């Protein structure tokens, strides 16, 4: 046999051998892991008969906001000047301004958690700019100054900051008709509370940071605590929503939206998703955990959107009475909720349902012209346009969101 024949024979043997080996390859069947765990009916999780849940920092900040709100309401009820320096100190938790001494010594504050999420405001992770973060905080601080100006004694009127109403119904308005404290409180629901929940604590950049997943799988506890880092991170998200006694801030409006027949499952949907996600973390079921994140993001965004439209429409309905001023409280709350839309997070995108530019355009429309909200002859059409824009984005109707509750 010559060399050429030998080479051809060898190749034939190799090819036959190769085909034969391919035919004998058995693809292993990978069985997905099965999980057997129970989702509790309340947000209760224990380890070794001791709670593994801690969201005290979130409860503290909710109480701080509550006291800031109460302070302004008390000053207005008694027709006293609002001290903007006091509000500023409460915002940054300096100078021991809270009547609840525990808050003063908590080491927590609202300001440093405003526009501070990993996904939206961490430059190293591709988040928003430091400039935007600074601008948001500065804007909120300006509402304290505006409240002080309005509380100086003048009667609110077109272009004049002052008070409207008497006794417990007294409200302090800026010259453009906005109620500064309501803009701050409702805007903070988005810029602090919602941003921390959906863009920070429920972010994969936070939940799965460093060795969090490995440590959670192996149940390596966080220092001397009774929880893993991932468990605690999830609890902190929960704490911003349901971490205060009674309904306060975001949880208050979840309840209000849930009272509308068109959205009457939203509270249980959110509550169940939090409980199911936490149970999944304990069981190392990360697929289920991630599915609950999407539910929470979507449902919380709906709450903010519905309340935005609700206040636009309720305010519009009051424009025909009392020269329009009775509407400005509701419209100011709506203004703050529209601000909050910038901090929503649409599942699958890691982006808000409305961009900052879109939100800014809606807000500018509300107060456009020289008279702001006082331009009641043209304001109604603007409120309708904003309401339709928001409702269309989320797939509900303006009428569905406008139910009074």
Q: What is the pLDDT of residue 173?
A: 97
pLDDT band at 126 (very low <50, low <70, confident <90, very high): low
Whether residue 22 is predicted with pLDDT greater than 60 in this model: the reply is: no
Q: How many Å apart are CA 224 and CA 245, to the nearest integer?
A: 27
**40-60 mean pLDDT:** 98
Written as six digits, the tokens of 280 are 């999944």
Written as six digits, the tokens of 40 are 């509790």
Whether residue 19 is predicted with pLDDT greater than 60 in this model: the reply is: no
pLDDT band at 29 (very low <50, low <70, confident <90, very high): confident
User: Which region holds residue 369: left if phi is over 0, alpha if psi is between -120 and 50, else beta?
Assistant: left
| pLDDT mean across residues, the chain | 92
Contacts of 324 (CB under 8 A, 6+ apart): 177, 318, 373, 374, 376, 379
pLDDT band at 94 (very low <50, low <70, confident <90, very high): very high
Q: How many Å apart are CA 39 and CA 286, to the nearest integer?
A: 15
Query: Residue 95 CA to chain centroid, in angstroms?
Result: 28
Count of C-beta atoms within a 10 Å radius of residue 206: 23
HSE on the CB side for 197, CA within 13 Å?
32
Whether residue 127 is predicted with pLDDT greater than 80 in this model: the reply is: no
Q: Phi and psi dihedrals of 50, rounded to 5?
A: -125, 140
Decide which of 32 and 232 is more confident. 232
Written as six digits, the tokens of 44 are 């209760």
Rg of the chain (C-alpha set): 27
Count of C-beta atoms within a 10 Å radius of residue 119: 21
Q: What is the full DSSP assignment across 332-399? A: HHHHHHHHHGGG--BTTTTB-SS-HHHHHHHHHHHT-SSSGGG-HHHHHHHHHHHHHHHHHHHT--HH
**255-263 mean pLDDT:** 97
Q: What is the pLDDT of residue 2?
A: 46
Residues 72-94 as b/e (b if ≥16 CB within 10 A, e otherwise) read beebbeeeeebbbebbbbbbebe
**313-339 mean pLDDT:** 92
Beta bridge partners of 157: 160
Q: What is the pLDDT of residue 290?
A: 98
- Residue range 270-292, pLDDT digits in tens: 999 999 999 999 999 999 999 99
Whether residue 10 is predicted with pLDDT greater than 90 in this model: the reply is: no
**310-337 mean pLDDT:** 92
């Amino acid at each position: 046999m010559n060399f050429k024949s030998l080479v051809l024979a060898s190749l034939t043997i190799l090819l036959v051998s190769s085909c034969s080996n391919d035919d004998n390859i058995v693809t292993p069947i990978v069985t997905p892991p099965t999980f057997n765990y129970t989702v509790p009916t309340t947000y209760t999780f224990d380890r070794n008969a001791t709670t593994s849940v801690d969201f005290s920092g979130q409860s503290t900040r909710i109480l701080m906001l509550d006291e800031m709100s109460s302070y302004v309401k008390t000053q207005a009820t008694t027709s006293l000047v609002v001290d903007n320096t006091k509000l500023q100190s409460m915002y940054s938790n300096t100078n021991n301004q809270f009547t609840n001494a525990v808050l003063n010594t908590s080491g927590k504050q609202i300001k440093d958690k405003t526009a501070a999420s990993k996904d939206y405001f961490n430059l190293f992770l591709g988040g928003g700019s430091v400039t935007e973060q600074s601008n948001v905080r500065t804007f909120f601080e300006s509402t304290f100054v505006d409240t002080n100006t309005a509380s100086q004694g003048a009667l609110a009127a077109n272009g004049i900051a002052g008070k409207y109403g008497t006794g417990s119904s007294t409200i302090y308005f800026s010259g453009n008709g906005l109620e500064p404290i309501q803009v701050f409180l409702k805007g903070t629901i988005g810029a602090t509370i919602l941003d921390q929940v959906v863009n920070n604590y429920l972010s994969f950049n936070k939940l799965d940071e460093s060795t969090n997943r490995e440590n959670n799988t192996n149940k390596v506890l966080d220092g001397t605590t009774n929880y893993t880092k991932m468990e605690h991170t999830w609890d902190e998200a929960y704490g911003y929503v349901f971490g205060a006694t009674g309904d306060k801030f975001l949880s208050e409006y979840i309840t209000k939206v849930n009272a509308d027949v068109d959205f009457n499952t939203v509270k249980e949907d959110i509550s169940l998703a939090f409980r199911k996600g936490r149970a999944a973390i304990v069981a190392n079921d990360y697929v289920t955990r991630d599915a609950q994140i999407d539910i929470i993001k979507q449902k919380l965004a709906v709450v903010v959107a519905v309340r935005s439209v609700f206040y636009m429409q309720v305010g519009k309905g009051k424009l025909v009475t009392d020269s329009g001023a009775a509407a400005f409280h509701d419209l100011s709350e709506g203004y703050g909720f529209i601000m909050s839309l910038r901090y929503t997070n649409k599942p699958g995108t890691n982006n808000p349902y409305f961009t900052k530019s879109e939100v800014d355009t809606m807000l500018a429309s509300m107060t456009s012209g020289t008279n702001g909200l006082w331009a009641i002859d043209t304001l109604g059409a603007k409120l309708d346009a904003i309401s339709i824009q928001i409702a269309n984005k989320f797939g509900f109707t303006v009428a569905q969101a406008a139910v009074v509750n």
